[in-house]
Structure 1
Amino acid sequence: MSEAVEPLQSAPKSVRERWVDLAVPVAILAIAWSLLQVAFSLYPSIDTMTQRATHVVFAISVGLAGLAAREQGIRKWVDYLLCVVALAPGIFIAFNADFLMQDRIVGLDDVRPQDYAFGLLLLALLFYAAYRLLGVGLAVFAAIFVVYFFAGPYLPGDLAHRYTGIERFIDAQFLSLNGIFGVPVGVSVTTVFYFILFAAIYDVFGGGRMIIDLALALTGRRVGGPAKSAVLASGLLGSVSGSAVANVMSTGIFTIPLMRQSGYNARFAGGVEAAASTGAQLVPPVMGAAAFIMADFLRIPYQTIVFAAIAPAIAYYFALLLMVDLEARRRGVSVDNIAQVPVRQVLLERGHLLLPLGWLAFRIVGGFPVEIAAIEASAGTIVLGMLRGVTRQPIVALFEALAVTAQRAVTVALPCALAGVVVAVISFTGLGTKFTSLMIAISGGSVPILLVLTMLASLVLGAGMPTTSAYIMAAVLLVPSLSALNVEPLVAHFFVFYFAILSMVTPPVALAAYAAAAITGESASETGWRAFALSLPGFIIPFVAIVHPGILLLGTPLDTVTGMVNICAGLFGVAVAVIGWLLRPLGKLERLGFAAIGIFNVLPGLWVTIAGMAVLVLAIAAVWATRGNTEPAREAGAGE
């Protein structure tokens, strides 16, 4: 996205060369934005409107400056001009914040000419930047809602609404905390940015490399070791970064070649990396930007989300590790030629970098404000990193981290701003209530049918979109219909949250798989289908949460234990079916049988659980008894 340096991925350069790399417009703007965000944390008295407006305009400006840095001719200078102009609405809001926040009454006071000018300018630049940086899908999706706002009086039946007009639109979208500067941007500015900052600083001091080395050291000599190390490293590192695509590009350049070297084919290696990196957004304590927004929507402490996510995350990675293990045994993958660093050496050299991660988790679980916990972890990483020669970095590295932080934050801030536009339209026009009625009518009031419809709609909303945007849209449009049929609010939000995340590995637009394919050099489509197959257990977990809410820690400890037993048994059957191997190759009917047994095991009821476990044990025993029989055709599993 820019020409600023990514510390872990750039070629070795002298300190002077690294300073020169930062002396470009995009890096200067990015560093200024990061320093401003640090100022917000140090001086919380700065008003909310100014913070959110500044956040949005800097996201647009940094994004356009990054585009300009890669362009030539007139387009380069147009984007540079626009990146400067984009700061104007933020300056306008900052100078008028007292009036807008204290004296002006939204919906009653007139909209002034200057309000129109800066409001329309910001909206135009927001859509332009989103189109150029995030793709046409999200920009068009948000534009449809803007059109709906103005077309309301002319629409037939229930779709019609009377809340329209340019004055009301600017009033709601630009002059209040309900539109562009709404809840999604609020979460981005007060919480998400600081976790991105922590991830960037952690990278600078070698935390990412330490996690990869540690994962390889722990699993490298075991069956399927390189793939298991990819799963563990991607899960741990992605939990901090909160981005599936960024995680693939940071860990995949190390893990995919290791998997290929040990005997996995390129498509399976790419699929494993994509599935593991996508699932990382389900792993506490960070879980990506969408999890913070979920806590805000539900008005519950973030640590409640963290605790609720633990069991599902364990289940997801249990299934993924199991499939990796089965595939390794099916292929006879060797680990003899994989070089690795002993665990003791990794811990002696960089083990001190585990302390900031531990402190971050401790503070979040303890109920401390999450943004303060991220800032403390960042400061701890700097102090601990500087204490040891092996991790010590020059001052320029911290400025590189500031630049990288802001550039990564663009891909969160812009979707959040557009999501705010959409949420405001839905709220002011009453579209959410109408959509809820429509969903219930289509499903006929049947919860199972509604769940399937919600899953499909969440995946469609997430196609090509950042997870944050996909979740916000699904939460606003789809969760109310689930709540109307008495689904627990936390369960309903987790349901759409999971599918918003899994859209990253769901064809035809599987962004995480496309990123992995760019590393492997294989077909993006083929890699996408491999990643989808490996992520299938993740598609079962949200449905299990509906029938076993205990896995989200709702209910008694016995409910949690029962739910985990059910889900692990179910995922075992599905994993065997996906890979097509258990002690020996499995035929088509055997694979279908294990899939059916797996799904049966997640159904509710004590007797169903007993019967399902008994059938699963019998099926495993039957395979064991015929393990010397190689007659069944070696069907194409997930790795073929």
Structure 2
Amino acid sequence: MIGGLVATGRRRKLAAGQYRAIVVVAAIFSAWVIYANLFTISNPLVLGILFVSGIYAIMFVAIGATPQAPDHIPFYDIVLSLLSLASGTFFYVNATQIADRISLLDPFTPAQLFFGITLLLLTLEATRRTTGLGLTVVVVAFLAYNWFGHLLPPPFGHGVDEFTYVLDILVFTTDGIFGVPIQVVATYVFLFVMFGTFLSKAGGGEFFFNLASLLTGRTRGGPAKVAVISSGLYGTMSGSPTSDVVATGSITIPVMKRLGYSARFAGAVEVAASTGGSAMPPVMGSAAFILAEYTGVDYKAVVVAALVPALLYYLGVFSQVHLRAVRDDLRPTDGETPTVSQTFRTGWVFLLPIIGIVVALLSGYSPTFTAGIGVIGVVVASALLKATRLSLWQVVEGLGETTLRILPVAGACAAAGLVIGGLSMTGLGMKAANVILVVSNSQPILTLFIAAVVTIILGLGMPTPSAYILAAVLVGPALAQLGYPVLQSHMFLLYFAILSALTPPIAVAALAAAAIADEDPFKIAFTSVKLASIGFMLPFAFVWNPALMLLADPLSNAMAVVGGLVATLAIAVAVEAFASKPVPPLERVLMAATGVAAIAPFAPVALAGILGGLALLGRHLMASRRGGLHQDAAG
């Protein structure tokens, strides 16, 4: 039942000739996106029109209407594709007239009305095919509210009561379909996805996996630790927990199962590790770009602020995996672990474009230009060695696959534009914020807790960008009214939008892992929530103490980082109830208490928490070393 709610259309497996034709068309579209972003100054409305119509035309051919859709392209999908092109052509040809018309005053011509309604319906169908029924139902509900909300009593009613009024805002301005979400996707998100595609195609994914194996493959719980590191490295490029699970989990989950790890634990490790990739700089997935655009915060500032929390998240997952591996005596990889020379013999070239992206971001270049540098960098770097060099067809295929990978994100963001436009038009966002404040009695901590729960509920079964956008427009105003700074509050919402991918009852990342692990997705989801427990605490921590996001003075930032490290390790022990030996309940409580104190924004409290946490952790570390020495002596 749950799978049906989030079921999407089926990616068609076309015959060789048809596949090549689709890839070439998609590659031409990618080339146009590069040209439009890097070599021209595009009108946002025109860019949105051409991007949406082109994406839809490819989408209806590449993705079937249902999970059981045939591989051949039926007549009705050809019609939908042609309608997408016709709508785009009409809007493009009449772009000046549309831009100059006075919204809500100039009446529609019959042609404008026809193509406006057509584009609206195409967007709903594109959303359903690419993201499933969940988001589509939400969008339809918001549309119904836009058109019929005037019938509701105060405070939820509004004054909009004309179909053309709603259509005008949602389709003929940059406040709806062509709004911020699709503008972000059409610019730097597209180019960063292209960067990840080319990096993977040249062999970057294998390099990251080998690097992770080199670091942890021969330790206890090695395969699980490899999954944590490699998924984090891959996830920062893909930005999608589900695709990360599929890409890296297809390797790591079978290896873990083969070495005796339970299917539940193997799937959960992959889900927890993959989910965090969307919060890991420098790419962080498309939602982070939307956050920067929506809030007006410079993307470089977002990346810097996100770095420490993301590293703490992975430290928490890694620590819990290690503690469980020690407790259960999980074996390391039984195969050959790559050496340093084997890993870096060809892999060093993949570090060059990543370094280029980091340098460009820190130098103040725009995210679009930075992504362009990354794409060019990975193509040039891969050409340095014969083993990684891309052929002409691989370049074409990389361009085409970028467009095909962006289809679900584009569908979700076009739908999110409909929601944002409707919310701003009816004022529902502020009304929802007022309701949240009434329920919480304007208590800051309770408001944050409600905001977290609402964001997770909004994200069930939805892509991260859609979940964040809904939370930003519905919950964000409530946090703003309480005086929470923009960056911390929106990063708070982004984290819980990301974590919704592993949270029951839907947990789309767990659904993907379940198919690989052959295990109940609910069992995987609940275990992954436990492994990712630090992730549910971090947003509250960095809102409480901005120094965790490096937003305070250097001394406070340094103390917060040290406190964060101690707190993460202490909480990992408290959650797993194990260190060198089983940890009794009272000590677990003490561990958690010192962890909370260690990240306090008050120096004396934080220092006490750090020292207390180090004392408790040090005791177990010494006991573990003594145990190891005794085992060596006995041997």
TM-score, normalised to structure 2, is 0.92
Partner Cα distance (1:357, 1:177) in 2:
33
The structure 2 residue matched to 1:63, chosen from 52, 59, 65, is 59
Query: What is the aligned partner in structure 1 of residue 395 from structure 2?
Result: 398
* 1:376 counterpart (354, 373, 378): 373
2:103 is paired with a residue of what secondary structure?
coil
- The residue number in structure 2 matching 1:47 is 43
Q: State which of 543, 547, 562 in structure 2 corresponds to 1:546.
A: 543
Q: CA deviation at 1:261?
A: 3.9
Cα distance change of structure 1 residues 217 and 165 upon mapping to structure 2, 3 Å threshold? same
Amino acid at match of 1:340: T
Q: Identical aligned pairs, as a percentage?
A: 34
Q: 2-side partners of 1:404 and 1:73: how far apart?
A: 18
- What residue is the counterpart of 2:11 in the other structure? 2
Q: Once the 2 structures are TM-superposed, how far is the Cα of residue 73 of structure 1 from its aligned partner?
A: 9.7
Match for residue 450 of structure 1 among 425, 447, 450: 447
Contact (CA 8 Å) 1:226, 1:258: kept in 2 or not? Answer: yes
**Distance across 2 between alignment mates of 1:345 and 1:83:** 47
Paired AA for residue 31 in structure 2: L
Residue number in structure 2 paired with 1:633: none
In the alignment, the residues of structure 2 paired with residue 246 and residue 472 of structure 1 have an alpha-carbon distance, to the nearest angstrom, of: 20
The question of 1:484 aligning with 2:448 is answered no
Aligned to 1:85: 83
Residue pair 2:59, 2:126 contacting (<8 A) in 1 also: yes
**Is the Cα–Cα contact under 8 Å of residues 130 and 411 in structure 2 kept in the other structure?**
no
Q: Which residue of 2 aligns with 1:230?
A: 227
**Stretches of structure 1 lacking an aligned partner (at least 5 in a row):** 6-16, 631-640
State the shift of 1:387 in Å: 3.0
Q: Which moved more, 1:145-154 or 1:392-401?
A: 392-401
In 1, the alpha carbon distance for the partners of 2:127 and 2:24 equals 21
1:76 partner letter: P
1:575 is aligned to 2:572: yes
What aligned pairs does 1:351-362 form with structure 2 within 5 A after superposition? Answer: 351-362=348-359
Is contact 1:50-1:90 (8 Å) kept? no
Q: What is aligned with 1:281?
A: 278
Structure 2 counterpart of 1:219, which letter?
Answer: T
| d(CA) in 2 for partners of 1:139, 1:220 | 43
Report how far residue 589 of structure 1 moved: 5.2
Aligned partner of residue 72 in structure 1, secondary structure: coil
- Check the 8 A contact 1:281/1:501 in 2, yes or no: yes
Give the structure 1 partner of residue 97 of structure 2.
Answer: 99
- Farther off after superposition, 379-388 or 190-199: 379-388
| Alignment partners' CA distance in 1, 2:624 and 2:371 | 51
Cα contact 1:580–1:587 (8 A) shared by 2: yes
Q: Identify if the C-alpha distance between structure 1 residues 100 and 615 changes in structure 2 by more than 3 Å, giving closer, same or farther.
A: same
Kept in 2, the 8 Å contact 1:447–1:485? The answer is yes
Letter of the 2:557 counterpart: T
> Do the aligned residues in 1 keep the contact of 2:275 with 2:498 (CA within 8 Å)?
yes
Match of residue 26 from structure 2: 30
Summarize deviations over 1:364-419 as a string: whole Å, max 9, x none. Answer: 22211222222222122222223311112322112221221111111111111111
| CA displacement at 1:197 relative to structure 2 | 0.9
After superposition, the Cα gap between the structure-2 partners of 1:449 and 1:176, relative to the gap in structure 1 and judged at 3 Å, is: same
CA contact (8 A) 2:316 2:569 kept: yes
CA deviation profile, 1:301-331 (whole Å, cap 9, x unmatched): 2101111111111111111111121111112
Q: 1:21 to 1:593 in 2, by over 3 A?
A: farther
Cα 1:65–1:609, aligned 2, differ >3 Å: closer, same or farther? Answer: same
The 1-side partners of 2:514 and 2:403 are apart by: 26
Partners of 1:367 and 1:161 in 2: CA distance: 43
Say which is worse superposed, 383-392 or 496-505, in terms of deviation.
383-392
* Aligned equivalent of 1:109, options 106, 109, 112: 106
Counterpart residue type for residue 44 of structure 1: T
- What is residue 14 of structure 1 aligned with on the other side? none
Q: 1:264 aligns with which of 261, 265, 285?
A: 261
Residue 43 of structure 1: how far off its partner (Å):
4.1
Report the Cα distance in structure 2 between the residues aligned to 1:563 and 1:45, rounded to whole angstroms: 42
Deviation, 1:345, is: 1.6
1:621, 1:48 → 2: CA distance? 57
Residue of structure 2 aligned with 1:249, choices 246, 249, 266: 246
Is the CA contact 1:464–1:511 (under 8 Å) kept in the aligned structure 2?
yes
Q: Does 1:517 align with 2:526?
A: no
Partners of 1:199 and 1:241 within 8 A in 2:
yes
Residue matched to 2:3: none
Q: CA offset at residue 598 of structure 1?
A: 3.2
Q: Kindly state the Cα deviation for residue 623 of structure 1 after the two structures are TM-superposed.
A: 5.5
Contact 2:580 2:623 in 1 (8 A): no
Residues 165/616 of structure 1: CA separation in 2 closer, same or farther (3 Å cut):
same
Contact 1:4 1:400 in 2 (8 A): no
Contact 1:218 1:343 in 2 (8 A): no
Query: Which residue number corresponds to residue 383 of structure 2?
Result: 386
Shift of residue 42, structure 1, vs aligned partner: 4.6
Q: CA deviation at 1:21?
A: 6.1
Distance 1:608 1:46, change over 3 A: closer
Q: Could you say if the C-alpha distance between residues 441 and 304 of structure 1 is closer, same or farther in structure 2, counting changes exceeding 3 Å?
A: same
C-alpha distance 38-525 of structure 1, shift in aligned 2 (>3 A) = same
Q: Return the match for 2:331 from 329, 334, 345.
A: 334
CA drift at 1:333: 2.1
- Assess, with a 3 A threshold, how the Cα gap between structure 1 residues 185 and 259 changes in structure 2: closer, same or farther: same
Contact kept in structure 2, 1:262 and 1:338, CA below 8 Å = no
- 1:530 partnered with 2:527: yes
CA contact (8 A) 1:4 1:21 kept: no
Aligned-partner Cα distance in 1 for 2:375–2:73: 38
Query: Matched residue of 1:159: which SS?
Result: coil
**Distance change >3 Å, CA 549–CA 96, structure 1 → 2:** same
Aligned to 1:294: 291
CA distance in 1, matches of 2:176, 2:550: 34
Please report the TM-score for the alignment, with normalisation by the length of structure 1: 0.91
| Alpha-carbon distance between aligned partners in 2 of 1:452 and 1:571, rounded to the nearest angstrom | 20
Q: Indicate the RMSD between aligned Cα atoms, in angstroms.
A: 2.4
Q: In the aligned structure 2, how far is the partner of 1:519 from the partner of 1:49?
A: 42
Cα deviation for residue 89 of structure 1 reads 1.4
Residues 212 and 92 of structure 1: CA distance in aligned 2, closer, same or farther (over 3 Å):
same
Q: Which segment drifts farther, 357-366 or 37-46?
A: 37-46
Larger CA deviation: 258-267 vs 278-287: 258-267
Q: Following the alignment from structure 1 to structure 2, what is the Cα–Cα distance between the partners of residues 620 and 304?
A: 34
SS at match of 2:94: helix
Question: In the alignment, what sits opposite 2:632?
Answer: none
Q: Which moved more, 1:599-608 or 1:279-288?
A: 599-608
Please state how far the C-alpha of 1:443 moved relative to its aligned partner. Answer: 0.9
Matched letter for residue 79 of structure 2: L
Partner in structure 2 of residue 410 of structure 1: 407
The 2-side partners of 1:178 and 1:478 are apart by 19
Instruction: State the Cα distance separating 1:289 from its structure 2 match.
Output: 0.6
- Which moves more between the two structures, 549-558 or 252-261? 252-261
Distance 1:566 1:108, change over 3 A: same
Q: What is the alpha-carbon distance in structure 2 between the residues aligned to residue 322 and residue 543 of structure 1? A: 20
Counterpart selection for 1:193 from 186, 190, 196: 190
What amino acid does structure 1 have at the position aligned with 2:80? L
Q: Give the corresponding residue for 1:152.
A: 149
* 1:625 Cα deviation from its structure 2 partner: 8.9
In the alignment, the residues of structure 1 paired with residue 18 and residue 110 of structure 2 have an alpha-carbon distance, to the nearest angstrom, of 42
Decide whether the 8 Å contact of 1:577 with 1:594 is kept in 2: yes
Name the count of aligned residue pairs. Answer: 616
In structure 2, list runs of 5 or more residues that go unmatched.
Answer: 1-9, 628-635
C-alpha distance in 1 between matches for 2:376 and 2:488: 35
- CA separation in 2, counterparts of 1:217 and 1:565? 27
- CA positional deviation for 1:108: 2.5
* 1:13-60 C-alpha deviation (Å, 9 max, x unpaired): xxxx9x746335x43542342232123135424432221112222332
